[in-house]
Chains A and B, each alone.
Chain A
Amino acid sequence: MVENARSLNLVASAVLFLGMLYILGPLYLTLTTSTQSYEFMLRNGLVWYPGDQFFTNVIRIFSETRIPQQMANSMVVAVGDAVVTCVLSFISAYALVFFPVRWGSVVFALILATIMLPLDIRVITTYQVASNVLSPINALLDVTGLNGLIANVFGAPIAFEWSVLNTHFGLIAPLVAHGTGTFLFRQFFLVLPKDLVKAARMDGAGPIRFLFDILLPLSRPSFAALFVLTFLGGWTQYLWPLVASSTPNMQTAVVGLARLAPDMEGVMPDFPLIMAGAVVVSIIPLVMIAVLQRYLVRGLVLSEK
């Protein structure tokens, strides 16, 4: 369209420039500060040009802090969250879309409801449940009076106990209990041509064969999108890994980074070291975004539709 909209284009360019400055400014300052020494920062404050202490600071992060171990934890949590979420959501959505499940829509609604109340809101009681995953069974036994019976027969009531706190499984499981993935795959399955199943059945493919040979290859882009989305979600979690890990060796990198700042009042924190930590902790997800941007954007759009 040929049209003169110079004033608008000028304003729009300025807006985009400011937006990028808002995003990049803090990241740039993080980078420059991580290249200064503590003494330099105390004398000059925040500066816009780089210094030469970057590697010193990064080496200190790797040798003096637990960030390396915690990065490994973050990796386990993020990959675990992403893989398990992808697999479980895929098969759940498959079951709900391609089978005439009774109460199917109710099950789907119950899965979807998880989006409304994020983990951060229900952290107190989720923590209690994680401290003994089998507590619902105990409660059930108590309520039904079964335990009274057992106590009479065997002399003592049964109390199961299995804590998943301070384990990788415990860090991952509550993150997987989320409906976005199922929603995303369901939306994708619903727009597939209806004759797909018919044709597959006519060719003699059963449900399992259909799942692996037809649906799985078709879903590859959705998998990629969901994987990137959940990986980033797992890596950037804060509150849950903070409470679910009781030893520093079990914490994730983001939690470790937040613990680098001293809690004492009146002491100027070693900001160059902390900023070097922030660079180290954020580099993996940022590289991932740069490389897999396409999938991230698709994942964000799909998770909304």
Chain B
Amino acid sequence: MSSPTQALFANRWLPVLLVTPLALLIVIFFYVPIFQAFYWSFFLERPFGGGSIFVGWANFARVLADPQFWEAGKRTVIFMVIGSSLAVLVPLILAVAADRQLRLSQPARNVLVWPKGVAGASIGVIFAFIFNPFVGILSPLNQWFPGIWAPGIDGTDAFIMLIAAHVWSGIPFNFVILLAGLQSLPRTMHQAAAMDGAGAWRRIFDVQLPLIMPQVFLTLVLEFTESVTSAFALVDTMTKGGPGGSTNLLVYKIYVDGFNGYDLSGAATQTAILMVFVVLLTGAQFAFLGRRINYER
């Protein structure tokens, strides 16, 4: 990350003019909404105008005393941990396999990016059908063991369905990044390890995986944020937060509270808490995990 030195154009207003359009959009649609979320969390907003009253920390007290908030927060964290681990692990295994230059490698590299073109909401609709307990792929199971697969009643089943769709959607990006990482490793590294008597299996764990830790770390960091947010489309199309709130993740709860319940202050307060959480999480990952990984090649 070196800044370019000499040989620059000296012009004072042109660069300002060029940055302004994007900067303006980012201020209006990124920074103002963030500021407003924090601002509103200290006020009691009436829906559709009608003024607002400063209430100090009362909104936070109300939200934090709400067991549903903690429930949604807990489910968000569970979804984040399981969902993003799998969404990195599955592409990682696939990337290691595709890196071996087999007959299937080329078609796999093509097919595995397809989900990028299928919207989260579309795959939600599709998985809701495929896992439908009456007509879906697991419905024969229900004929032999009635009630064994019931995502409409059993929260765990609904959660599994959600994770399966999330991992499906996450494959393209993580697979491409991890495969690019693997392919950037010098072949000599393999050859040297092979000379030292390391078999192909051994080299995966002792050479390849340690060396692509930067990519694994990066996909994991991005995946954590992704899993907190992209879950909305899946929840809205597959489970609507049910059954019994078992898939009511925080992004979904904020949407329902704000747009269906007109509780703008509550929704803004939860937004503020979620944003602080995401930023802290990203920061913590860079601080604790990032430092331990050897970036040198």
Physical interaction between A and B:
yes
Among A59-67, A150-158, A251-259, the stretch in contact with B: A251-259
Contact of A288 among B117, B130, B191, B278 (CB under 8 A): B117
Residues of A within 8 A of B254 (CB): 123-124
Minimum CB–CB distance for A141 against chain B, Å: 15
Is A50 located at the chain interface by the 8 A CB criterion?
no
Is A17 located at the chain interface by the 8 A CB criterion?
yes
Minimum CB–CB distance for A61 against chain B, Å: 13
Number of A-B contacts (CB under 8 A): 328
Minimum CB–CB distance for A168 against chain B, Å: 15
Residues of B within 8 A of A120 (CB): 229-230, 232, 251
Do A45 and B233 form a contact, CB below 8 Å, given A177-B28, A194-B7?
no
Residues of B within 8 A of A264 (CB): none
Is B201 located at the chain interface by the 8 A CB criterion?
yes
Q: Decide: A124 and B121 in contact? CB cutoff 8 A.
A: no
In angstroms, Cα B232 to Cα A23, docked, is 21
Q: Decide: B22 and A13 in contact? CB cutoff 8 A.
A: no
In angstroms, Cα B259 to Cα A125, docked, is 11
Q: Decide: A198 and B7 in contact? CB cutoff 8 A.
A: yes
Q: Decide: A258 and B237 in contact? CB cutoff 8 A.
A: yes
Residues of A within 8 A of B51 (CB): none
In angstroms, Cα B3 to Cα A190, docked, is 8
Do A99 and B8 form a contact, CB below 8 Å, given A15-B97, A22-B168?
yes
In angstroms, Cα B24 to Cα A111, docked, is 11
In angstroms, Cα B18 to Cα A207, docked, is 12
Q: Decide: B104 and A117 in contact? CB cutoff 8 A.
A: no
In angstroms, Cα B136 to Cα A42, docked, is 11
Minimum CB–CB distance for B13 against chain A, Å: 10
Interfacial residues of chain A within 107-133, with CB under 8 A of chain B in the complex: 107, 110-111, 114, 116-130, 133
Q: Closest A-chain residue to B135, C-beta based?
A: A45
Q: Mark B4-38, 1 if CB is under 8 A from A, else 0.
A: 11111111001111110111011011111110110
Q: Decide: B114 and A99 in contact? CB cutoff 8 A.
A: no
Q: Closest A-chain residue to B215, C-beta based?
A: A304
Residues of A within 8 A of B271 (CB): 121-122, 124-125
Contact of A133 among B28, B90, B115, B139 (CB under 8 A): B28
Q: Decide: B119 and A128 in contact? CB cutoff 8 A.
A: no
Q: Mark A274-292, 1 if CB is under 8 A from B, else 0.
A: 1100100110011011100
Q: Decide: B264 and A289 in contact? CB cutoff 8 A.
A: no
Residues of B within 8 A of A45 (CB): 134-136, 139
Residues of A within 8 A of B282 (CB): 116
Q: Which of B23, B117, B200, B274 has the most CB of A within 10 A?
A: B117
Residues of A within 8 A of B222 (CB): 304
Is A203 located at the chain interface by the 8 A CB criterion?
no
Residues of B within 8 A of A197 (CB): 7-9
Is A68 located at the chain interface by the 8 A CB criterion?
no
Contact of B121 among A26, A105, A258 (CB under 8 A): A258
Q: Decide: A297 and B176 in contact? CB cutoff 8 A.
A: yes
Interfacial residues of chain A within 71-104, with CB under 8 A of chain B in the complex: 88-89, 91-92, 94-101
Residues of A within 8 A of B (CB-CB), count: 111
Q: Decide: B190 and A275 in contact? CB cutoff 8 A.
A: no
Q: Decide: B278 and A300 in contact? CB cutoff 8 A.
A: no
Main SS of the interface on chain A? helix
Is A236 located at the chain interface by the 8 A CB criterion?
yes
Is B118 located at the chain interface by the 8 A CB criterion?
yes
In angstroms, Cα B26 to Cα A257, docked, is 30
Q: Closest A-chain residue to B109, C-beta based?
A: A297
In angstroms, Cα B218 to Cα A300, docked, is 13
Q: Which of A105, A194, A195 has the most CB of B within 10 A?
A: A194
Contact of B130 among A19, A46, A105, A111 (CB under 8 A): A46
Is B108 located at the chain interface by the 8 A CB criterion?
yes
Is B209 located at the chain interface by the 8 A CB criterion?
no
Q: Decide: B122 and A278 in contact? CB cutoff 8 A.
A: yes
Is B245 located at the chain interface by the 8 A CB criterion?
no
Do A12 and B97 form a contact, CB below 8 Å, given A99-B8, A121-B271, A125-B268?
yes
Q: Decide: A121 and B229 in contact? CB cutoff 8 A.
A: yes
Residues of A within 8 A of B103 (CB): 13
Residues of B within 8 A of A15 (CB): 93-94, 97
Q: Decide: A281 and B122 in contact? CB cutoff 8 A.
A: yes
Do A8 and B40 form a contact, CB below 8 Å, given A236-B120, A239-B232, A286-B114?
no
Q: Decide: B117 and A174 in contact? CB cutoff 8 A.
A: no
Residues of B within 8 A of A258 (CB): 121-122, 124-125, 236-237
Is B255 located at the chain interface by the 8 A CB criterion?
yes
Q: Which of B176, B191, B194 has the most CB of A within 10 A?
A: B176
Q: Which of B8, B15, B137, B278 has the most CB of A within 10 A?
A: B15
Contact sample, A vs B, 7 pairs, CB 8 Å cutoff: A3-B194, A94-B18, A111-B22, A176-B25, A258-B125, A258-B236, A275-B126
Having A29-B130, A257-B125, A297-B113, one finds 11 other A-B pairs with CB under 8 Å, namely: A5-B201, A20-B108, A23-B112, A117-B275, A117-B279, A124-B255, A124-B267, A130-B29, A197-B8, A236-B121, A258-B124
